[in-house]
């Protein structure tokens, strides 16, 4: 399993598509959660855990709380860079911070924080974040 420092990860790139904008021709607000989800998957991959790999080590994070602040409007064909950083790790929960910037000029488009709770897939009860995940998130 290769591992990259989370601090060295350059972020996830996403080009805004027609289906992601609203009648005002700007990215519809709920789409940012989809962008965050895709970025989170690639963030885990960058620190050494494929989507299947996180489950295999006992990590199944479910969304508990979301905060999004919109700073500027993204439009069709904007190339967005979504950064992800783990800002808090508790026993069974953690916070990931998201930053969305337009690639061409680094204009801040949105920021977000999502709190996740690790659960056992069978009992659906919260369980401790595995040591392997914890170590990768702290690097």
Structure tokens at 128: 């401790």
What are 60-102's pLDDT values in tens digits? 999 999 999 999 999 999 999 999 999 999 999 999 999 999 9
The whole model's pTM is what? 0.91
Give yes or no for a contact between 89 and 138, defined as CB atoms under 8 angstroms apart: yes
Question: Residue 127 and residue 102: Cα distance in Å, rounded?
Answer: 37
**In 3-71, alpha helices (H):** 31-46, 51-56
Give the confidence band of 3 by pLDDT, cuts at 50, 70, 90.
very low
For the stretch 14-52, pLDDT in tens is 999 999 999 999 999 999 999 999 999 999 999 999 999
pLDDT at 8: 73
Query: CB within 8 A of 65, min separation 6: which ones?
Result: 113, 114, 115
**Residue 2 has what pLDDT?**
40
Please check the confidence at residue 108 and state whether its pLDDT lies above 50.
yes
> Is there a contact between 28 and 76 (Cβ–Cβ < 8 Å)?
no
Strand order in 12-15's β-sheet? Answer: 12-15, 79-89, 93-102, 108-118, 61-70
* 116 touches 61 (CB < 8 A): yes
pLDDT at 119 over 50: yes
Q: 50-89: buried (b, 16+ CB within 10 Å) or exposed (e) per residue?
A: eeeebeeebbebeeeeeebebeeebeeebebbbbbebeee
CATH topology of domain 6-138: Thiol Ester Dehydrase; Chain A (3.10.129)
pLDDT at 7: 59
Question: Which pLDDT band, with edges at 50, 70 and 90, does 9 fall under?
Answer: confident
6: pLDDT confidence band, cut at 50, 70 and 90?
low
């Amino acid at each position: 399993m290769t591992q990259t420092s989370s601090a060295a990860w350059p972020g996830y790139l996403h080009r805004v598509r027609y289906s992601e904008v609203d009648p005002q021709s700007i990215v519809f607000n709920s789409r940012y959660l989809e962008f965050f989800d895709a970025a989170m998957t690639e963030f885990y991959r960058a620190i050494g855990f494929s989507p299947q790999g996180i489950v295999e080590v006992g990590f199944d994070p479910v969304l508990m709380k979301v905060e999004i602040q919109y700073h500027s409007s993204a439009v069709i064909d904007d190339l967005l860079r979504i950064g992800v950083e783990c800002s808090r790790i508790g026993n069974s929960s953690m916070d990931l911070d998201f930053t969305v910037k337009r690639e061409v000029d680094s204009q801040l488009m949105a920021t977000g924080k999502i709190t996740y709770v690790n659960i056992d897939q069978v009992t659906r009860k919260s369980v401790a974040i595995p040591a392997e995940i914890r170590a990768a998130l702290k690097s």
